[in-house]
Structure 1
Amino acid sequence: MKFLNELITRTFKGNTQIKSDSTKELPKDSCKPNLQDNIQYIKTTLGNSTDLIVREIQIGPGKQIKAAIFYTDGLSDAKSVQNFIMETLLQNNVNSSLDNMRSDHQDPLQVLKERILTVGEIKDVNEFRTLFTSLLSGDVILLLDGYTQGFTIGMREWKDRGVTETSTETVIRGPKEGFTENLRTNTALIRRKIKDPNLWLETKEIGRVTKTNVAIMYIKGITKDTIVQEVHQRLDRIDIDGILESGYIEELVQDETYTPFPTIYHTERPDVIAADLLEGKVAILVDGTPIVLVVPSMFISFVQAAEDYYQRSDISSLIRMLRFISIFISLLGPSLYIAVTTFHQEMLPTQLLISLAAQREGVPFPAFIEALMMEASFEILREASIRMPKAIAQSISIVGTLVIGTAAVEAGIISAAMVIVVAITAVSSFVLPSFDLSMTIRMLRFPMMMLAASFGLFGIIIGVIAIVLHMCSLRSFGVPYMSPFAPFILEDQKDALIRMPHWTMFSRPRLISRKKNFIREQSNLPEKPQD
């Protein structure tokens, strides 16, 4: 103990000149050498907020040095502050290993940092801007009287939601865990899947007011450097006061704004992110939201589901084909009914034509108005079921749909065939695993109905051609949106319309991954059993 007092005394005496020199020409945002001035400035800037805890103490031999500890109540671990900072600085007993350390005229800040403070994460701070960001993020600030430099000590702890099953991407077979609102928890969930040192994590601070942490994760050596650079450039161009959800980032970095199709994929599942990283994609994680963005994203990404790779390839291929069929039904179901019943009755069998004519005998509106009324009613009910309390939302949506459909048919306003068409269309839209793609199909359904009512099947063909041409013109971070269909890449077709067995999927997507790590497996043939 005698040696420690002597060491600290010599250290502080030897740095008297350093303290006086540090007061010359300080930057405007720099911390002041007077501790009371720093305390007053911090309190005034934060409006004397009641959750700001300031603890003034005296350390060193004879309690000669004044110090102040700052932390935000509710964001920092108060017990750790008490046990590992205050108790360490105020204790009378020290580690016996200090007896072997004899040096003169050392920086007292270095003595505190390297020999006294028993905490893990310590960073230097000498600007109020950095100090406030760390303080309001949950870090503990330690300032000494007479020095313009202090410490930020990592002791963040706040209440957050535990890792639970995602409610929007449920699977029968596969991991049940989902992302949370805590950025560090989300990065840990990904690292549990990929235990490779080449999995790199880079963090940026976006938002002038919120100062939200945005993380970028990718596998070095698999992801193309051009894609990583493009992600950095687009994030660096963002100049906004606040980022509250990953949707802000998605809209600010996407390639094309005026398109109904989503060009950035997002998910709540760590296993999906791990699979995308292994393909050479980049994950963008935003603190405060469980939604993680993936770039670049192609159209096929919104049709694939995590469970496709956990089931057998034949079952997964069948389900994926059903999804493509559901896309066409959801997009063109009402349009085909309108076109055929209005312009092309000769395409229907005689018995079916007579049945439809009998149903529409008392209906006062044309088929387009019928479909428009039913689709609008269903969209209203679906949106209302989302906003209603969960206890009554499901029952209200089901009862409302049945009552409105049955009452409309009995009143002669809507034909029974139209109710069937709208119901099949609505059910088909729920088959899609991506909610964004489902919303796109719902939006495009109405202009397709207008084309069908105006030009019949010719209008539908014109609309489909326009949609396909628009999709082929889109890009996601430099990658064609319709790949591997346009441009056509033969080796990537094994995971497009159908999913081939895993032992045949020996290569990564050509346009995303680097050439030297293009091969995912050394052998693409299963071993034959020996006799």
Structure 2
Amino acid sequence: MRRIKSQADTLKQLLEENFKSTEDATFKTLDNGQDQIEMVYINTIVDNAKIHDLFLKPFFEIDKINKYVSYIKSLNDYKEYKNEKEAMKEVLHGAIVLLIEDEALIVGLKLQENSAVQNAMVEATIMGPQTALSENINTNINLIRHRYHVPTLKVEKPMLMGEKSKVELAILYDEQQVKPEVLKKIKNQLEQINEPIIQSSGELHRAIIQNNKRLFPHLMVTERPDRIAYNLSQGKIIIMIEGNPFVLIAPAVFYDFMSAMEDFYQPYWVSKFLISLRYIGLFISLFLPAAYVGITSFNPEVFRVQLAFSIAGSRIPVPYPSYIEVLFMLIMMEMLTEASIRLPKTIGPTATTVGGLILGQAATEAGLVSNIMIIIVAAVAISNFIIPINEMSFSMRVSKYLLLFLTTISGLIGLMIGTIGLIYYLVHLDSVGEPYLKLFFDEKKQQT
């Protein structure tokens, strides 16, 4: 009997060491006046509605503890206690541990949230999981815990955000992987926020980053539980806010914004090809409009003679310089993009597609833009949409106008100066102390 009691005491100590600092872990003591038992479980991944009927009510109705133990062992999901490691695994998969005198009883009570979960709309994949986060914090923690079963996953709910909105905030991190100085810095930045109303991850992002005039995102916004689980394993911190199906990931560097979860679900060389394709699209979106203006208006000798004559011939009916032509078409494309977002989903794609076709054809026939300009704008639009994370895509959309402005002033030299300036700006950025151009790679994944 002493050996079993020693195992129960060891299990209790292990559970307290791993879960005491976790907000969604519950340690409950029941006392009916004669006997006392302890319950340990993670409330975000168990069916809380059944706890009262299965455990609490019988404990106060059954007069003898040995009968209660027999009742627990008769439940369908009762599991024999093997060792502390197996018990810890069961708790992380939605089981309840009952410590009764000298025994440790384990009963499965797993809850998988599916009814309140929507399919991923912003970061869709072909072969990967299709579920996204919901607007309920506990549901989101449930989804993450079902993908990341480690006892070192900590959940903290340190404060309510917004002086007037008072929405709940949660911080998730892997205690074994996270850098303590990064975690401390994030908590300090959250404590310094004094905004009256915060309702979304985007607002929280702006509040955390004190420099509101930033061009590039310093934290990543995502809706995918699988991306969250992967980043937790990389030692990153997840910041959730109640009522929003998106979370913040910190720190986030440039490489993170160019990676999609599809990269992990495809064969190795297919994945590398897709990543290379994104960087090619990034360069096309960023540099093609400025390069077109710089070459056609300042340095046409860069092209071969046949191509230079072809471009010059297509621009004969255009009455204004190339930079006005480019700017006009880019602005119209931006308007079409915004219209497709704001219009109802049923008519948005059709209206913007038809509008784009009519606009391009009419502008060409009227001599307002050249044929080559239509090709360039289409290439830029398609290339911009290939960037997986929208915030980085928006930043690149703005950056290309800065390069276009410098090129308009001083040609290809301006483009070179703008490119060097952009790289210089990126090098001096950081995300919660991590260099922005640092590469985050999973070493174990590389070895495999």
TM-score by length of 2: 0.74
Measured against aligned partners, the alpha-carbon deviations of 1:195-221 in whole angstroms (never above 9, x if no partner) come to 111100000222222221110000012
Task: List gaps (5 residues or longer) in structure 1.
Answer: 1-79, 89-93, 100-159, 485-491, 496-504, 508-519, 527-531
Q: 1:202: which partner in 2?
A: 156
Q: 2:234: which partner in 1?
A: 279
Of 141, 165, 172, the residue aligned with 1:217 is 172
Q: 1:236: which partner in 2?
A: 191
Within 1, Cα distance between the matches of 2:160 and 2:63? Answer: 40
Identity of aligned residues (%): 34
- Alignment of 1:340 with 2:295, yes or no, is yes
TM superposition shift of 1:227 = 1.0
TM superposition shift of 1:181 = 0.3
Within 1, Cα distance between the matches of 2:292 and 2:383? Answer: 16
* 8 A Cα contact 2:135 2:244, kept in partner: yes
Q: 2:123: which partner in 1?
A: 169
Give secondary structure in 2 for the equivalent of 1:315.
helix
Within 2, Cα distance between the matches of 1:96 and 1:348? Answer: 90
Q: 2:137: which partner in 1?
A: 183
* 8 A Cα contact 1:339 1:456, kept in partner: yes
RMSD: 2.2
Measured against aligned partners, the alpha-carbon deviations of 1:182-238 in whole angstroms (never above 9, x if no partner) come to 100001111001111110000022222222111000001210111111111111111
Mapping for residues 3-14 of structure 1, pairs under 5 Å: none
Amino acid at match of 2:334: E
Q: 1:394: which partner in 2?
A: 349
Within 2, Cα distance between the matches of 1:472 and 1:313? Answer: 29
- Alignment of 1:193 with 2:147, yes or no, is yes
TM superposition shift of 1:379 = 0.7
Of 404, 412, 430, the residue aligned with 1:449 is 404
Measured against aligned partners, the alpha-carbon deviations of 1:157-195 in whole angstroms (never above 9, x if no partner) come to xxx972121111111111111100010000111100111
Within 1, Cα distance between the matches of 2:288 and 2:233? Answer: 37
Mapping for residues 464-503 of structure 1, pairs under 5 Å: 464-484=419-439, 495=441
| Paired positions, count | 345
Within 1, Cα distance between the matches of 2:337 and 2:405? Answer: 22
- Alignment of 1:95 with 2:22, yes or no, is no
Of 256, 279, 299, the residue aligned with 1:324 is 279
Within 2, Cα distance between the matches of 1:479 and 1:184? Answer: 30
Mapping for residues 124-143 of structure 1, pairs under 5 Å: none
Q: 2:369: which partner in 1?
A: 414
- Alignment of 1:425 with 2:385, yes or no, is no
* 8 A Cα contact 2:252 2:436, kept in partner: yes
Within 1, Cα distance between the matches of 2:196 and 2:398? Answer: 31
Give secondary structure in 2 for the equivalent of 1:452.
helix
Runs (4+) off by over 6 Å: none
Choose 449-458 or 286-295, whichever is displaced more: 449-458
Within 2, Cα distance between the matches of 1:399 and 1:419? Answer: 15
Amino acid at match of 1:383: E
Change (3 A) 1:469 1:360: same
Structure 1 or 2, whichever has the larger Rg, is: 1
Within 2, Cα distance between the matches of 1:241 and 1:286? Answer: 15
TM superposition shift of 1:253 = 0.9
Task: List gaps (5 residues or longer) in structure 2.
Answer: 1-48, 66-113
TM superposition shift of 1:242 = 2.3
Within 2, Cα distance between the matches of 1:210 and 1:256? Answer: 23
Amino acid at match of 1:212: V
* 8 A Cα contact 1:255 1:476, kept in partner: no
Measured against aligned partners, the alpha-carbon deviations of 1:412-438 in whole angstroms (never above 9, x if no partner) come to 111111111111011100111011111
